[in-house]
Structure 1
Amino acid sequence: MPVFLYPIIFLGIVLILSSFFTVKQQSAAIIERFGKFHSIRQSGLHLKIPLIDRIAGKLSLKIQQLDVIIETKTLDDVFVKLKVSVQYKVIKDKVYDSFYKLDYPHDQITSYVFDVVRAEVPKMKLDDVFVKKDDIAIAVKSELNEAMMTYGYDIIKTLVTDIDPDAQVKEAMNRINASEREKVAAQYEGDAQRILIVERAKAEAESKRLQGQGIADQRREIARGLEESVEVLNKVGINSQEASALIVVTQHYDTLQSIGQETNSNLILLPNSPQAGSQMLNDMVASFTASNQIGEAMKNSKKNDNKE
C-alpha cells in the first residue's frame, strides 16, 4: 500500500469516529449545521455529519439550585440579609428557548429574586419577616415562574433558608429573649414557693388538728377510766370524795415513780411533798363547792326577778 494513503486512511477513521457522539442521561445536546440550529438530541448514542454538524452546547435537565443573598431594610428600619434558594430546571420541550433565548440564566434569576425581595420585605417588620418567610418565598416563585417560563425554565421551589439581621439587632433580640425567659423562670419559681408555703401550712394545720384530736381522745379515755375507778371504789363502800382523793394520790405517786426511772431527766415536779396530793384534792373540792354556791345564787336571783 502506498505510503501517501496512510494519512488519508487515518483521516477517514478520525472523521468516522467523530461522527458518533453520546448524550448523558438527563441531558440534551443542541446540534447546529453550518452555524444554524439543526436539532436537539436526547440521551443516548447519536450520529452527526463531520465538518458540517457540530455540537453547539449541552444542557442539563436535572433540578439545579441557585443561592441568592440579598440585603434589604425592613419596615422598622432594620437591615437584614436573606438567603433565598431557587430550585429550577430546564423544561425538556423547551431546550431550544433555554439555550438560545437566555445567555446567563443565573444572572436573570438573581435579578428577579432581588426585585421581589426588595419589594416585599420593606413592607414587613423584622418579626414579620421571620414569621412570613414562606410568603416571601411564594411571591418569589410566582414572579420567577411567570418570567422564566418564557425562557424554557421551570421554577420548582423557592425557599428562604436564612434570615440574618444586623449584629447589634441580633444582640438586642437575644437580650430581650433572655429577659423574657428570666421573667418566666421567676414566675415559675414564685408559683412553686407559693404552692410550697400553702402545702406546708395545710400540713401543719392537719398536724395540729390530729394532735388536738389525739389530746381530746386521751382526756376522754382518762375521764372514762376515772369514772370506772370511782364506780369500783363506790361498790366497796368508799364514797366519791374518798375515791377522788385516792385516785389523785395514786396518780401523784405514779408520776413521781415515772420521773425517777429516767436517769438523765431534767424534769422537776412541783409540788412534790407527800401532802401535795391531799392539798390538790382540797383545792379542787373547795373550787367545786364555790362554783356550786355561785350557780345556786344566780338561779335564786333569776327566780326572784321573774316573780317581781
Structure 2
Amino acid sequence: MSIPFIVIIVFGFFIFLSSFFTVKQQSSVVIERFGKFLSVRNSGLQLKIPIVDRIAGRVNLKIQQLDVIIETKTKDNVFIKMKVSVQFKVIQEKVYDAFYKLEYPHDQITAYVFDVVRAEVPKLKLDDVFERKDDIAIAVKRELNEAMTTYGYDIINTLVTDIDPDIQVKNAMNRINAADREKTAAEFEAESSRIRIVAKAKAEAESKRLQGQGIADQRREIARGLVESVEVLNNVGINSQEASALIVVTQHYDTLQAIGADANSNLILLPNSPQAGSDMLNNMVASFSASNQVGEMMKKNNKKIEKPKPKPIEPQSGYEDDTTTPEIK
C-alpha cells in the first residue's frame, strides 16, 4: 500500500468525522453554506456537508445577566451612581435575528438602559429615587422589551440593585436621620417623664387624701371612746371632772410609755408626776375659759364701735311762717 493512498484514506476519514458535530443543551448553532445562512441546529448530534457547510457561530439560549453602572443626577441636583441588572435571553425561534441583526448585543442593551435611566431619574428627588426604584426598573424593562424583541432578545427582568449617592450627601443624610431619631427619643423621654410626674402626683394626692381620712376617722373614734369612757365612769359614781382628769392622766402615761419604747426617739423632757395630769387638765380648762372671756369682750367692743347711722335730711319745698293767722269768725 502506497503512502499517497494512506494519506487519502486518513484525509477521507477526517472529512467523514467533520461531517458530524454536537450541539449542547440550551444552545443553538448557526450553519452557513458558502457564506450564506442555511439553518439553525438545536441540541443533539447534527450532520453537515464537509467543506461546503460550516458552523458560523453558537448562540447561548440560557438566561444571561448584564450589570450596567450609570452616573446621573436627580431633580435636586444630587449626583448618584445606579447599578441596573438586566436579565435577558435569546428567543429560540429568533436565533437568526439575534445572530445576524446585532453584532454587540450587550452594548445595545447598555445604551438603552442609559437612555431610560437618565430620562427618568432627573424627574425625581433623591428620596423619591430610593422609594420608586421599582418604577425605574419597570420603565427600563418596558423600553428594552420594545427595542430588543425585534432583535430576538427577551428581557426577563430588570433590577435596580444599588443606589450610591456622593459621600458628602450620604453623610448629610446620616446626620439628618440621626437628628430625627434624637428628636423622637427626646419626645418619648419627655412624655415618659410627664407620665411619671403625673402618676406620682396622683399617688401623693391619693395618699394625702387617705391619710387625712384616716386621721379624721382616728379622731372621731377617739372622741367616741372618750364619750363612752366618761359615761362608764359616771355610771360608777365618778363625776365628769374626775373622769376627765383620769382620762388625761391615763393618756399622759401612755404617751410616756410610747416615747420610752422607741429606741430612735430624741431626748424629750416631760413631767411624769401624778399631779402632772391634773395640772394639764386644769391648764386646759383655764385656757378654754380665758378664750371664751376674750371672745365675749371682743363682741362687746365691736358693738360699742358700731354707731347708728344718721337719718338723711329730707329737702323742704318752702318756708313756713311761725305766726298763725287768727281765724275770723
TM-score by length of 2: 0.84
Q: What displacement does 1:10 show?
A: 2.0
Q: CA RMSD in A?
A: 2.4
Which structure would you say has the larger Rg? 2
Asked whether 1:13 is paired with 2:45, we answer no
1:164 is paired with a residue of what secondary structure? strand
Q: Identify the residue that residue 257 of structure 2 maps to in structure 1.
A: 257
Report Cα offsets for 1:40-61 as digits up to 9, x if no partner: 0111111111111111111111
CA–CA distance in 1 between the matches of 2:150 and 2:254?
114
Q: Identify the residue that residue 178 of structure 1 maps to in structure 2.
A: 178
1:62 is paired with a residue of what secondary structure? coil
Moved more, 288-297 or 175-184: 288-297
Q: Identify the residue that residue 210 of structure 2 maps to in structure 1.
A: 210
Gaps of 5+ in 2: 299-329
Q: Identify the residue that residue 304 of structure 1 maps to in structure 2.
A: none
Report Cα offsets for 1:55-82 as digits up to 9, x if no partner: 1111111111111111111111111111
CA–CA distance in 1 between the matches of 2:21 and 2:144?
35
Q: Identify the residue that residue 88 of structure 2 maps to in structure 1.
A: 88
CA–CA distance in 2 between the matches of 1:116 and 1:7?
61
1:51 is paired with a residue of what secondary structure? coil
Q: Identify the residue that residue 165 of structure 1 maps to in structure 2.
A: 165
Percent identical across equivalent pairs?
Answer: 78
1:96-115 matches, cutoff 5 A: 96-115=96-115
Q: Identify the residue that residue 50 of structure 1 maps to in structure 2.
A: 50
Letter of the aligned partner of 2:182 in structure 1? E
CA–CA distance in 2 between the matches of 1:130 and 1:40?
45
CA–CA distance in 1 between the matches of 2:53 and 2:6?
26
Q: What displacement does 1:22 show?
A: 1.2
Letter of the aligned partner of 2:119 in structure 1? A
Q: What displacement does 1:34 show?
A: 1.1
Q: What displacement does 1:227 show?
A: 2.0
Q: What displacement does 1:296 show?
A: 9.5
Letter of the aligned partner of 1:121 in structure 2? V
Letter of the aligned partner of 2:29 in structure 1? A
Cα distance change on mapping 1:151 and 1:263 into 2, 3 Å = closer
Report Cα offsets for 1:64-111 as digits up to 9, x if no partner: 111111111111111111111111110111000000000000000001
Letter of the aligned partner of 1:280 in structure 2? M
Cα distance change on mapping 1:76 and 1:256 into 2, 3 Å = same
Cα distance change on mapping 1:148 and 1:73 into 2, 3 Å = same
Letter of the aligned partner of 1:282 in structure 2? N
Q: Identify the residue that residue 126 of structure 1 maps to in structure 2.
A: 126
Q: Identify the residue that residue 146 of structure 2 maps to in structure 1.
A: 146
Asked whether 1:193 is paired with 2:169, we answer no
CA contact (8 A) 1:259 1:267 kept: no
CA–CA distance in 2 between the matches of 1:228 and 1:15?
138
Gaps of 5+ in 1: 299-308
CA–CA distance in 2 between the matches of 1:99 and 1:195?
74
Letter of the aligned partner of 2:111 in structure 1? S
CA contact (8 A) 1:62 1:89 kept: yes
Q: Identify the residue that residue 236 of structure 2 maps to in structure 1.
A: 236
Q: What displacement does 1:265 show?
A: 3.2
Q: Identify the residue that residue 61 of structure 2 maps to in structure 1.
A: 61
CA–CA distance in 2 between the matches of 1:199 and 1:121?
53
Aligned residues: 300
CA–CA distance in 1 between the matches of 2:80 and 2:264?
81
CA–CA distance in 1 between the matches of 2:232 and 2:225?
11
CA–CA distance in 1 between the matches of 2:72 and 2:182?
33
Q: What displacement does 1:269 show?
A: 4.7
CA contact (8 A) 1:23 1:43 kept: yes
CA–CA distance in 2 between the matches of 1:8 and 1:226?
146
2:255 is paired with a residue of what secondary structure? helix
CA–CA distance in 1 between the matches of 2:202 and 2:165?
53
Q: What displacement does 1:260 show?
A: 3.0
CA–CA distance in 2 between the matches of 1:255 and 1:18?
127
Moved more, 99-108 or 190-199: 190-199
